[in-house]
Amino acid sequence: VPVVYSAVYNIAFLGLEKLHPFDSSKWGRVCELLIQKGELESRRIMEPGEATKEDLLVVHTPEYLESLKRSYVAASILEVPPVALLPYCIIRSKVLVPFRKQVVGGSVLAGKVAYERGWAINVGGGFHHCCGYRGGGFCVYADITLCIHFAFANLNISRAMIVDLDAHQGNGHERDFADDDRVFIFDMYNRDIYPLDYEAKRWIDRRVEISSGTRTDSYLTRLKQELEEAFQAFAPDLLVYNAGTDILEGDPLGRLEVSPEGVKERDEIVFSFARQRNIPIVMLTSGGYMRSSAGVIAESISNLHSKKLIDLAGVN
């Protein structure tokens, strides 16, 4: 089944993860919930490999990768100040290796499998604030950029679309694909919150800015209209869908008011657009800062299965 996940995704960092706004164990809970419902078998889940330095250098500058060896740099990106007191060997094993598996190995593998099978879900990834030369906002590696570069180099892909529906602007991939007409960026985000990257906005092909407090009905109505026009303007060979759940009502960082049912409908809308047009789609789970996010993601994946947009039992 083209569902990509590893237990390594879940970061346990001497208890510090419990103090961080990012829920570093949500990925495992998503799979557990689907397994408990009997919709996904653990033996069918695809295990990604760890990205090598050579893989990372496809996108990242040597200077940036070298900077991650300085603990205070990693601490700044991850927004965990105590990390600065720990040696690099611990940072590497507890944080960087899990991210290399999740956001690089997982997303690149999901892109390959989606091209072969029509769809894939990396139960992780979508760390869209990192670009080739810097990280930020909990994002260490640029997995979306790497996924697309891999597709261009190895999968006979010449045109890709990013549909970024995380609550935050995806300024990392926007910087990486500045003025690259092979990549169409659709970004619908809360304009009132981080990262407020006005320079990166110039490279969004379809920019849909919404305000804090936007509710479910207006969110979905706007999404359908804007997606329809985006697909009329650009016909991709691959769609990378950044499906953040920080749009949920009550999320402290996203500040939008979309219901759990609205998230399910959002994901269904995007998958329907892709599947009806025979466009391979990669889903990444991205941001989401409440304990309830894992359950919403699992319910949404289950809904996609029930609507026959994906098949968790075999090849669809």
**Which are the catalytic amino acids?**
129
Query: Are the C-beta atoms of 186 and 264 separated by less than 8 Å?
Result: no
SS3 149: helix
CA–CA dist 282, 65 (Å, integer): 26
Give the contacts of 78 (CB within 8 A, at least 6 positions apart).
20, 95, 138, 140
The C-alpha atoms of residue 200 and residue 162 are separated, in whole angstroms, by 15
Of 162, 243, 246, 244, the C-alpha closest to 207 is 162
Residue 140's alpha-carbon distances to 64, 154, 298, in angstroms, are 10, 24, 25
Taking the C-alpha atoms of 271, 266, 33 and 169 in order, what is their torsion angle to the nearest 10 degrees? 100
Q: What are phi and psi of 207, to 5 degrees?
A: -95, 120
CA distance 183 to 174: 10
Per the CB < 8 A criterion, the answer to whether 229 and 206 are in contact is: yes
Name residue, tokens 């998503």: 30
Q: What 3-state DSSP class applies to 65?
A: helix
